[in-house]
Structure 1
Amino acid sequence: MKFSARALLINWVLLPFTAVQLQASGAQQMPMYTQPKPPVERPPAGIDKTSITSDFSAAYERAGKPKIAVFWNRKFDDQLSQWEATQRINMNQQITETRAQRQNRSGLGESGGFDFSAGYSQDFILNGVQLIDRPAVMRFVERKTAMETGRETVADYQKVEADALIGFADYFNEIVFVERQDSEIGFEFLVSVKEVSSGRVVAMFRSNPRFPEKPAPEPVWLVTDNGYQKVYPERMKATPGEVGERLALETMGALSKVW
């Protein structure tokens, strides 16, 4: 019993000294394999989303809650149509339109384009903005013209586009993609907002979204032939949806200054 008490006393005295020795010798545990943690969502650097959307909501209210038609990766066609009659059958003339200037523009692909559009539209819609889809209203105008004339016709492309804007929107928002190699996503954006009734330019800017705030994934330990090695994964790139959201916030900020 006396021996056990003496041993306990000796261990109690020597334990701190042993710990100091181990720390001084640099003894470390063998690193264990760790799973990478999912990136934490952070607000865009230099962009206060809450402040921007709040200011825009007030500005949109002051402007009378106008309807905005969005032109995805295209510009409003300012060229006059050139028409060529190709055939006449039963007094009905078939018309083919030769565009004076065709718009061949690169984009994000169908899936990426949808995600970009959704990301761009989301904050506008959540703030009560009346967004108008250009192809949809053009089909409405074309259908109305067919019903009024009593027959299906190939309508003047530019006239239908203009009638669709005048009848359904107060402003039109053009977003054009331009290839740019030094961009994180391979594109920059030419953005403009114009008033339908007067053609007045309300906002116009060039954007090359960058995401320095996107966190790099944490390093992981992997077992290799040379033992444990720390691996640093590449920083995650922005998704089309994140790019669309960033561009929407920039557009909101530009509109808030003039409305």
Structure 2
Amino acid sequence: MRAGQPMTMDAAPPVADPDRAAIDRFAAAYARAGRPRVALLWNRELTAEVETGHEDVATLHVEREPGHLDAELRSTTRAQDSGARAAAADEGADFDMERGLADGLSGAGVRLIDRTAILRTGALGADTTNVQAIETRALLDKAEWTLEVVAMNDGRWRIVARDLASGQVVARGVSAGRPAPRPMPWVAGEHGFVRATAPDAGPYAVGRQIALDAMKALARR
């Protein structure tokens, strides 16, 4: 089929989205569960720590000049964030993965809650030295579920969904972040037509795949 030439065969029907059935099953199950609000914890765990730890940090600053020595010792107290986990990639790729994850979930109708927003608003008029207490109150007030997605040291992502009111683990799963192979079109090669090579999945596509694997794990429950 070329521009300006008569048609020699019917055009192929559009290829159906192979993920559509899984997304639809999740959307139906999510609706039956009452469409709970979900706080997304990207590279963050809801730890068992009930009180924020602190550590004293001392910094020694020395300036050397001929015949002169200045030394200054500074001491500060820093809160320990026990829930944060190291990102799996550089800052830009990490943001694109989180964006793909959030877009995949919200595109299926998930009511996503931002942890930062509820922490800041929940801290008004509260004792701000205990972040765990603020986080717990904010989650109970603004969300029904948490969804943790944490990078593991084997290159996969761990997925854990919890019901905050009951304490029940709603679903556990893992994701390799690799979209399933799709049929590729034929392209002209050196010795005839060959299948095109599938491009590597970028960070955004990895995030979308993690969202799909999370929805599959939740739909099974």
The normalised TM-score by structure 1 is 0.61
- What is residue 106 of structure 1 aligned with on the other side? 87
Q: Is the 8 A contact 1:132 1:168 kept in 2?
A: yes
Give the alignment of 1:63-212 within 5 angstroms: 63-79=33-49, 80-82=51-53, 96=77, 98-99=79-80, 101=82, 103-142=84-123, 144-145=124-125, 154-180=128-154, 187-211=155-179
TM superposition shift of 1:236: 2.1
TM superposition shift of 1:190: 0.6
Q: Is the 8 A contact 2:39 2:147 kept in 1?
A: yes
Q: Secondary structure at the match of 2:156?
A: strand
**Paired AA for residue 220 in structure 2:** K
Q: Secondary structure at the match of 1:174?
A: strand
* CA-based RMSD: 3.3
Q: Secondary structure at the match of 1:81?
A: coil
| CA distance 1:119–1:193, shift in 2 (3 Å) | same
Counterpart Cα distance in 1 of 2:96 and 2:81: 31
Unaligned runs of 5+ in 1: 1-41, 86-94, 147-152, 181-186, 222-231
Counterpart Cα distance in 1 of 2:207 and 2:39: 16
Q: Which of the pair is proportionally richer in helix?
A: 1
Q: Secondary structure at the match of 1:78?
A: coil
Q: Is the 8 A contact 1:119 1:242 kept in 2?
A: yes
Counterpart Cα distance in 2 of 1:219 and 1:84: 63
Q: For residues 73-113 of structure 1, what are the alpha-carbon distances to aligned partners after superposition, in whole Å with 9 as ceiling and x for unaligned?
A: 1111322323589xxxxxxxxx9454385745132222212
| CA distance 1:81–1:188, shift in 2 (3 Å) | same
Q: Which of the pair is proportionally richer in strand?
A: 2
**Paired AA for residue 107 in structure 1:** A
Give the alignment of 1:41-56 within 5 angstroms: 48-56=18-26
Q: Secondary structure at the match of 1:179?
A: coil
| CA distance 1:194–1:161, shift in 2 (3 Å) | same
Counterpart Cα distance in 1 of 2:178 and 2:82: 32
Counterpart Cα distance in 1 of 2:119 and 2:138: 5
Aligned length: 187
Q: Secondary structure at the match of 1:137?
A: helix
| CA distance 1:108–1:218, shift in 2 (3 Å) | farther
Q: Is the 8 A contact 2:128 2:134 kept in 1?
A: no
**Paired AA for residue 178 in structure 1:** M
- What is residue 213 of structure 2 aligned with on the other side? 250
Larger radius of gyration between Structure 1 and Structure 2: 1
| CA distance 1:113–1:219, shift in 2 (3 Å) | farther
Q: Secondary structure at the match of 1:105?
A: coil
Q: Secondary structure at the match of 2:125?
A: helix
How high is the sequence identity, in percent, across the aligned residues? 27
Q: Secondary structure at the match of 2:112?
A: strand
Of 20, 25, 28, which residue of structure 2 is paired with 1:58?
28
Counterpart Cα distance in 1 of 2:131 and 2:54: 10
Q: Is the 8 A contact 1:106 1:179 kept in 2?
A: no
Q: Is the 8 A contact 1:70 1:134 kept in 2?
A: yes
- What is residue 237 of structure 1 aligned with on the other side? 200
- What is residue 3 of structure 2 aligned with on the other side? none
Counterpart Cα distance in 2 of 1:239 and 1:60: 28
Counterpart Cα distance in 1 of 2:81 and 2:107: 39
